[in-house]
């Protein structure tokens, strides 16, 4: 099959590219390297079945040219940061909403069979009910969360109006190798690992008791490919389905690295949620998705990768 991975040079996208290439599919990486990196995909670009198109999802005409003959689109391209979306909501709207609409229009025009879209657990907001399940009323708290929810609604409409098969996967706190350490908006796990490896104190925004459902990137890849290969449509949580506090997370990283440091606390950040835990029953039933990694086994692979950088 010919598959397109928008944002294929990014953290999650490059892992999807790697797996598709291993399965001998024809893979086209579509990326403008805004946050993606050539080093994430350079090992695959030498393969006969992997090519790259340098472009932005705000360019509808280029998307239409690229999608010709594709069986499916893995749509990972986005500005994927809550703080960045709060700093610049217009940019997030342009890329995440207009860009996603462009991807859908191009897929419709090129008669692509299916789109699998990277959505986010942030659409649930701070509702106290745990675990989060897909039938809950969304309550986005940031422009980023609004953009992902809007993307989901567009997918549903394109499925109903144009017959395009669509799946939205609500990712819960994805981590793993290739996650950006250098960004000022770096996620909590690369931040903690980078800081602890330097024998410095990681910053926790809040009291450290807030919980997250951390999901290893290879499990996210598994869910994406299962979603593409199945006839399932709709919205699905993708997670480990167990939560730990940020203080516990720091303790596991210190145990895995053998480096013990103190923790530094600052005020909670705007747009951050308190607790997160997913119900993955729907994905298990419709996609056959079962997480293969615990937080600890995923962290061991991740720490090893960062140490080798």
Domains and CATH numbers, the chain: 2-175+216-239+277-291 (3.40.50.720)
- Token pair in block for residue 33: 């390297």
Kind plus residue range of the DSSP H or E element containing 139: none
- DSSP alpha helix (H) spans, the chain: 11-22, 38-45, 60-67, 82-87, 89-92, 99-109, 143-162, 188-197, 217-229, 246-257, 281-287, 295-308
Find the distance separating the first CA and the last CA of the chain, reported in whole Å.
33
Contact 238, 223 (CB under 8 A): yes
211-212 and 244-245 as β-strands: parallel, antiparallel, unpaired? antiparallel
CB half-sphere exposure, 87, CA atoms < 13 A: 9
| Sign of the C-alpha dihedral computed for residues 82, 87, 93 and 95 taken in this order | negative
The pLDDT tens digits along the chain (309 residues) read 999 999 999 999 999 999 999 999 999 999 999 999 999 999 999 999 999 999 999 999 999 999 999 999 999 999 998 889 999 999 999 999 999 999 999 999 999 999 999 999 999 998 889 999 999 999 999 999 999 999 999 999 999 999 999 999 999 999 999 998 776 556 889 999 999 999 999 999 989 999 999 999 999 999 999 999 999 999 999 999 999 999 999 999 999 999 999 999 999 887 677 888 999 999 999 999 999 999 999 999 999 999 998
> Phi/psi of residue 145, each to 5°?
-65, -40
> What residues contact 6, with CB distance under 8 A and at least 6 apart?
13, 30, 31, 57, 73, 74, 75, 76, 77, 103
């Amino acid at each position: 099959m010919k598959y397109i991975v928008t944002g294929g040079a990014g953290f999650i996208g490059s892992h999807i590219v790697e797996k598709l290439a291993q399965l001998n599919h024809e893979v086209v990486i579509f990326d403008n390297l805004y946050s993606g990196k050539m080093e994430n995909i350079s090992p695959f670009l030498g393969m006969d079945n992997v090519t790259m198109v340098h472009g932005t999802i705000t360019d509808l005409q280029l998307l239409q040219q690229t999608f010709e003959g594709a069986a499916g689109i893995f749509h990972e391209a986005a500005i994927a940061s809550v703080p960045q979306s709060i700093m610049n909501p217009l940019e997030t709207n342009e890329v995440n909403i207009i860009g996603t609409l462009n991807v859908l229009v191009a897929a419709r025009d090129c008669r692509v069979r299916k789109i699998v879209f990277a959505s986010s657990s942030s659409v649930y907001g701070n509702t106290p009910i745990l675990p989060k399940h897909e039938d809950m009323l969304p309550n986005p708290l940031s422009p980023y969360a609004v953009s992902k929810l809007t993307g989901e609604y567009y997918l549903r409409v394109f499925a109903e109006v144009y017959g395009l098969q669509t799946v939205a996967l609500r990712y819960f706190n994805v981590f793993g190798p290739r996650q950006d350490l250098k960004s000022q908006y770096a996620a909590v796990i690369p931040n903690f690992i980078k800081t602890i490896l330097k024998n410095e104190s990681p910053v926790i925004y809040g009291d450290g008791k807030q919980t997250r459902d951390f999901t290893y990137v290879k499990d996210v890849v598994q869910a994406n490919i299962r979603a593409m290969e199945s006839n399932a449509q709709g919205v699905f949580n993708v997670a480990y389905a167990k939560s730990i506090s940020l203080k516990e997370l720091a303790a596991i990283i210190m145990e895995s690295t053998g480096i013990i440091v103190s923790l530094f606390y600052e005020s909670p950040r705007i747009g951050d949620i308190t607790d997160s835990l997913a119900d993955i029953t729907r994905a298990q039933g419709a996609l056959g998705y079962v997480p293969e990694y615990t937080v600890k086994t995923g962290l061991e692979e991740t720490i090893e990768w960062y140490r080798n950088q």
